[in-house]
Chain A
Amino acid sequence: MSGLRQLGPAILFCVVAGAAQADDALVFGSFKNASNAENWSSRMRVLLNVDVNVVPARGGDGTDIYRVVTAPLAEAESVRVRRIADNRQLKYWRLLDVGTEDAAVARAEPPAALPPPVRAENPQRRPNDQPPARPVEVIEPAAVRSSDVVQMLDIDLGAQARAFFEEGLDGQSKFHPSVSVTVEYYRAWDDERQSLTFTPYYRYDSEDDERTHFDLREGFWSLVGNDWDLHLGVKQVFWGVTEFNHLVDIINQTDQVENIDGEDKLGQPMAHLSLVRDWGILDFHLLPGFRERTYPGPEGRPRFFVPIDTDDATYESGAGDSRVDGAVRWSHHLGGFEFGLYHFNGTSRAPLFDTVVDGDGTLLLRPHYPVIDQTGLDAQAIFGDWAFKLETIYRTNFPDDYYAFNAGFERTLVGAFGTRADLGLVVEYLYDDRGDAAFDTFFENDLAVATRWALNDLGDTQALIGVVWDHDSNETIFTLEASRRLGETWLLLLEGRAFAGAADLDPDNPFDPANKGASVAQDDYIELELTKFL
């Protein structure tokens, strides 16, 4: 035994003396990662139809390794297993005389420069044995590539034109051109266990100074384990399933100047830990620092008729915009059913408003951000070509407690009308417990219906055409979103919104909660955006 240790300075190759007739076991590779070893062991168990276990051992370089080892095999069984392995060209070697305590001592993979390893077998003990396969240890194939660095740089340039059909309430112009640039840099190393993502964004708007803005959409470091992820930095997280309103989504602040659909978000500083378990995924978010919601300036549109004073926001928290917020979410899927349940405690992303008059006598709305608790649930169930969707929240201290939900379905017709196009029918009901008093949303008791088209042509033309209708107030919003690729590096986007059914703004009762649409009644628009991907 000790003599074999002298084979080479880097080789620690232990063979154990023991009862000559003991059964032997086969080693099907060694791994530096226990879970990879488990994975491989379960595959071997199925393939070889013998008991296969993971045995911790010490590698030649002193690190812990995990071996995939069969149970001790009787001679006939061993022959059978080796035959399967040879047929499959699986590499293995024999761990002799298991049952003695030294049996699990490992041999390290010798450096390439060293001579091929010597068989770990005493030839005198088993003279009739056919030569076993060359003992080769498969040490974590992925680790071989661990020095690889993956890098990607993408730059998107956008030119956007918004055309309004009428002048704004305050005489804002009809034509709003703007340009934007998004840079995404990604760098991964350590076999993509670590990565950096950096996504700055800038838009220049010719009309609205507030819409001209810079934001770090994302800028974070990730460390990825087998069943956990850790992300530190500025990041975006989306939750939700419904189409017309994103009730449960709360981690990131809405970048309202970009679009009123609530889908553009500001980067949020966070520490985000995600655990993957058999019973679902657990997400922990620690959110230091608060981002104020962006609002169009006096020249911007569409906007509320009273400009919003984003310079003097107030906070309920004594820490102002430095409060550390938090959220925990559990999500899981079972067959065609999936859900996410979370609780958020922190500064509300949506503000309350105080009416103030500034030095010039101008009426302004000043955002006030209270500290809220919000519990939210999103769920989706798929039955055949039907998908049923639900989002619901319960929010406290805003300024009262209330609940809201979106519920609906989407039905997809593949190859609609004998064409290669897919047609989706989306129906959602949007409800807010506060009724008309829900000052921050149009959707307090609305029915939304849309058709989604995917033409499945070379340009991947898609369109979502919808209408949201409030049957109490008769206010109606028509929406259109369509996109089409032009060649390999251009994307054309068409978007439009029309607001109907609202009465004109009443100067004596401008804040009439039953006529919230009055502010945007003249803001129907069509938007065309061309994006070049560099």
Chain B
Amino acid sequence: MTFRTFASLCQAVLLGSAAAATAVAAAASAAAVAAGFSITGLDPEAAGLAIFREADRRASGYGDLTVDLEMRLKTESGKESTRGLGIRQLEMPDDGDRLLVVFDSPKSYRGAALLSYAHKTEPDDQWIYLPAVKRVKRIASQNKSGPFLSSEFAYEDMALQEVEKYSYRLLDTRMEDVGLAYEVERIPADRYSGYAREVVTLDAAELRIQSIEYFDRQNRLLKTLVVSDYGLYEGRFWKPTRMLMTNHQTGKSTELIWRNYQFGTGLDADRHFSTNSLLRAR
């Protein structure tokens, strides 16, 4: 960041005036340019899209990854339950990414697995494997608004979010604890989504999602997701360690803890992400 950018940021923070807003905007565009893309001169819709395109571009090229996920579910009365999942993800050159979720705990879930092929515009393909009856069951991805493993995360929150599945609008650029941040509204294109809109906050420097506010179909605030403890992997991928989803309408919450990210483990589209691989996922 150049000195001028830094100076205008200080100005913005100190003054807190209308003039500061201009200063922040100037700083924002400077930050954007520094980061290799620019939203200068774009209208709010184009700017919002540009931010998510760029965030997607930066998250692309990982090839494949594996990560362990622990979900901690908490009810409004404080009762807790945890689930352990193993996640494998593969980047596909011409399509959405592929995702395999292997259920590890509680033990009654063991051997169950979920396979998802994300598509850029078409509905995703999803299958679940039920080991007790050795049955692979196709699930309607249109049921995306339902809870994932009884947590506060809906299937659509866990799914791979392709840029093309939303329309965007940059609402605000302002200083947050993480530094300069963009606030972007995104509206799901899919009518089966449980949300009327989402308000996403990303830091301008690295375009990492810091928080998401979810508004239900009646446009009431439903949930807030706070994403934190980002780590840099392979020198270029920012991945979070913690995500906390709080449901404001029920008081329930779910915390996700991501551990043991590994990149380039040599996963294969057919061997690890076919419906056959569901049957033997462990």
B 183-206 binary contact with A (CB < 8 Å = 1; else 0): 000000000101000000000000
Partner pick for B93 among A42, A227, A237, CB 8 A cutoff: A42
CB of B264 closer than 8 Å to a CB of A? yes
Are B282 and A143 within 8 A (Cβ)?
A: no
- Tell me whether B140 and A387 are in contact (CB under 8 A): yes
**Docked pose: A422 CA to B155 CA in angstroms:** 13
Q: Chain A residues near B106 (CB, 8 Å)?
A: 485, 488-489, 533
With A333-B125, A387-B140 known to touch, is A276 a contact of B276 (CB < 8 Å)? yes
Give the residue of B63, B75, B146 whose beta carbon is less than 8 angstroms from that of A415: B146
Report the Cα distance A263→B133, complex, angstroms.
6
CB of A216, distance to nearest CB on chain B (Å): 15
Binds A, one of B1-9, B18-26, B265-273: B265-273
A268 shortest CB reach to chain B, Å: 11
Q: What separation, in Å, do the CA atoms of A143 and B264 have in the docked complex?
A: 12
Query: Cβ of A458 and Cβ of B75 under 8 Å apart?
Result: yes
Shortest CB-to-CB span from B49 to chain A, Å, is 20
**Given the complex, which residues of A lie within 8 Å of B122, measured CB to CB?**
335
Q: Given the interface contacts A333-B125, A412-B140, does A141 sit within 8 Å of B264 by beta carbon?
A: yes
**A414 close to B146 (CB less than 8 A):** yes
Contacts of B81 in A (CB 8 A): 458, 488
Q: Does A78 contact B (CB under 8 A)?
A: no
**0 or 1 for each of B85-107: is its CB under 8 Å from A? (1 = yes):** 00000010110000000000111
Q: In the docked arrangement, what's the CA distance between A89 and B134, Å?
A: 43
Q: Which residues of the partner chain B approach A46 to less than 8 Å between Cβ atoms?
A: 93-94
> A29-67 vs B: 1/0 string, CB under 8 Å?
000010110011011011100000000000000000000
A-contact 0/1 string along B229-267, CB 8 Å cutoff: 000001110000000000000100000000000001111
Whether B143 sits at the interface, judged by CB under 8 Å, is yes
Cβ of A188 under 8 Å from chain B: yes
User: Secondary structure of the A side of the interface?
Assistant: mixed
Query: Which residues of B sit under 8 angstroms from A42, Cβ to Cβ?
Result: 93
A491 at the interface (CB under 8 A from B): yes
> CB of B179 within 8 A of chain A?
no
CA distance A411 to B29 in the complex (A): 49
A141 to B266, CA, bound (A): 6
Given known contacts A47-B61, A263-B133, A414 and B143 CB-to-CB distance under 8 angstroms: yes
**Contact partner, A382, options B138, B267, B274, Cβ 8 Å:** B138
- The interface centre, meaning the residue of B91, B194, B270 with most chain A CB atoms within 10 A of its CB, is B270
Most buried by B among A35, A138, A387, A458: A458
Chain B residues, CB < 8 A from A412: 140, 143
Interchain pairs with CB closer than 8 A, number: 139
Considering only residues 294-347 of chain A, those with a C-beta below 8 Å from chain B are 333, 335-336, 338
CB neighbours of A281 from chain B (8 A): 274-276
Nearest chain B CB to A366's CB is how many angstroms away? 30
| A182 nearest in chain B by CB position | B132
B270 touches A43 (CB 8 A): no
> Which of A2-10, A109-117, A218-226 lies at the interface?
A218-226
Would you give the 0/1 interface string for A114-151, flagging 1 where the beta carbon is closer than 8 Å to chain B?
Answer: 00000000000000000000000010111101000010
Q: How far is the CA of A534 from the CA of B105 in the complex (A)?
A: 12
A142's nearest neighbour on chain B, judged by CB, is B266
In the assembled complex, which residues on chain B have CB atoms less than 8 Å from the CB atom of A457? 150
* B143 contacts across to A, CB distance below 8 A: 385, 412, 414, 422
- The answer to whether B265 and A142 have CB atoms under 8 Å apart is yes
Q: Are A456 and B150 in contact (CB under 8 A)?
A: yes
Most chain-A CB neighbours within 10 Å: which of B73, B111, B140, B269? Answer: B140
Q: Could you say which residues of chain A place their CB within 8 Å of the CB of B91? A: 43
A333-B125, A533-B107 as given contacts; A226 in contact with B138, CB under 8 Å: no
| Interface flag for A380 (CB, 8 Å) | yes
- Is A229 positioned at the interface, with any CB of B under 8 Å from its CB? yes
List which A367-407 residues lie within 8 A (CB) of chain B. Answer: 380, 382, 384-387
With both beta carbons as reference points, the residue of chain A lying nearest to B235 in the complex is identified as A89
How many Å lie between the Cα of A415 and that of B145 in the bound state? Answer: 8
Residues of B within 8 A of A192 (CB): 282
Supposing A141-B265, A488-B106 touch, asked if A225 and B271 sit within 8 A by C-beta, the answer is yes
Partner of B107, one of A145, A336, A488: A488
- B236/A456 in contact, CB under 8 A: no
**Residues A226 and B270 in contact, CB atoms below 8 Å apart:** yes
Bound CA span A186–B75, Å: 35
Contact of B140 among A184, A382, A533 (CB under 8 A): A382
Interface residue? B110 (CB, 8 A): yes
Min CB gap A434→B, angstroms: 27
Alpha-carbon distance between A333 and B150 when the two chains are bound, in angstroms:
28
Task: Note all chain B residues with C-beta closer than 8 A to A420.
Answer: 147, 250
In the bound complex, do residue B146 and residue A456 qualify as a contact, i.e. CB atoms below 8 Å apart? yes
**A371 and B75 alpha carbons, distance in the complex (Å):** 57
Across the interface, name the chain B residue whose C-beta is closest to A387: B140
- Bound CA–CA A89/B275 (angstroms): 33
Q: Are the CB atoms of B140 and A422 closer together than 8 Å?
A: no
The reply to whether A489 and B107 contact each other, CB–CB distance below 8 Å, is: yes
Q: Which residue from chain B places its CB closest to the CB of A195 in the assembled complex?
A: B280
Binding site for B on A (CB under 8 A): 33, 35-36, 39-40, 42-43, 45-47, 87-89, 138, 140-143, 145, 150, 152, 154, 184, 186, 188, 192, 195, 222, 224-227, 229, 236-238, 240-241, 263, 265, 274, 276, 281, 333, 335-336, 338, 380, 382, 384-387, 412, 414-415, 420, 422, 454, 456-458, 460, 485, 488-489, 491, 531, 533-534
List 18 contacting pairs A-B, 8 Å CB cutoff, sorted by A: A33-B266, A33-B268, A35-B268, A47-B60, A89-B235, A138-B264, A141-B264, A186-B282, A229-B276, A238-B134, A333-B275, A385-B142, A386-B140, A414-B194, A420-B147, A420-B250, A422-B143, A533-B107
Apart from the given pairs A387-B138, A488-B105, 19 other A-B contacts in the complex at a CB distance below 8 Å? A33-B268, A39-B269, A40-B63, A43-B61, A141-B264, A143-B266, A150-B282, A227-B270, A236-B134, A237-B134, A240-B135, A241-B138, A263-B133, A265-B134, A281-B275, A281-B276, A336-B123, A387-B140, A420-B250
The 10 closest A-B pairs by CB, nearest first: A142-B266, A533-B107, A238-B134, A414-B146, A227-B270, A456-B147, A488-B106, A89-B235, A226-B271, A458-B81
